[in-house]
Amino acid sequence: DQQVKQNSPSLSVQEGRISILNCDYTNSMFDYFLWYKKYPAEGPTFLISISSIKDKNEDGRFTVFLNKSAKHLSLHIVPSQPGDSAVYFCAASGIDGSSNTGKLIFGQGTTLQVKP
Amino acid sequence: GAVVSQHPSRVICKSGTSVKIECRSLDFQATTMFWYRQFPKQSLMLMATSNEGSKATYEQGVEKDKFLINHASLTLSTLTVTSAHPEDSSFYICSAREGGPPLHFGNGTRLTVT
């Protein structure tokens, strides 16, 4: 049972345009969401997060939107740069008190390619 | 920011041998570390939670006798894959957090069992 889903395995955008990566979750107990970026053969790098009490969090070119009623979050990258090309994972925590421990449930990842 | 160091980055071993992977939190103390595993083109799956000074907590389906975890100090956790088999070949990643979220990840270890 995949509790965190990224239904688009890949996304290709032109440099300078907006990249929108989507993530859906099924468990309403999740209360904290994170986006990680990952290059091959490396560990994930934290990008941005959002608490369930918010619906938007912005950090530079990265903005995360949370729609709790739809159980959906998205990561917007604008403007997209070729260096943003990587696999992006969304992750959630909060069930069974896991927000206190740090346990994360990851989506399957979306491979973003930003073309020059 | 918090840095998590993992060693080795890649290892090749023969079937039946054991392999130890180290995870260190640099410049911060981590009472809890997490071990994840990633199969090719799949998501990261939590294997176990490593607790300093006590036994690790394993996720359902993870064999604790096969994946031995030792959290000997506030900055070091080790994962030992015992009697490795080819199906254990995977990318193993440790993580820790400095106080609250987010989790910070090491660079992972690519294990290949021949």
Q: For A67-114, what is each residue's pLDDT tens digit?
A: 999 999 999 999 999 999 999 999 998 755 555 556 889 999 999 999
Q: Are the C-beta atoms of A71 and A28 separated by less than 8 Å?
A: yes
The share of chain B scoring above pLDDT 90, in percent, equals 71
Name the residue of chain B whose CA is nearest to A87's CA.
B41
- Mean predicted confidence (pLDDT) in A14-22: 98
Place of tokens 């091959």: A40
Q: For A37-64, what is each residue's pLDDT tens digit?
A: 999 888 999 999 999 999 999 999 999 9
Closest-CA distance of chain A to residue B86, Å: 19
Closest-CA distance of chain A to residue B105, Å: 6
Q: Are the C-beta atoms of A106 and B105 separated by less than 8 Å?
A: no
Predicted confidence at residue A95, as pLDDT, reads: 57
Residue B50 makes CB contacts below 8 A (sequence gap 6+) with B32, B33, B34, B35, B56, B69, B70, B71, B77, B94
pLDDT confidence band for A10 (50 / 70 / 90): very high
Closest CB from B44, B97, B110 relative to A102: B97
**Measured between alpha carbons, how far is B64 from B87 in angstroms, rounded to an integer?**
16
Residue B61 makes CB contacts below 8 A (sequence gap 6+) with none
Q: Which of residues 29-68 of B touch A (CB under 8 A)?
A: 32, 34, 42-46, 49
Residue of B43, B57, B77, B112 to mutate, testing the A interface (most A Cβ within 10 Å of its Cβ): B43
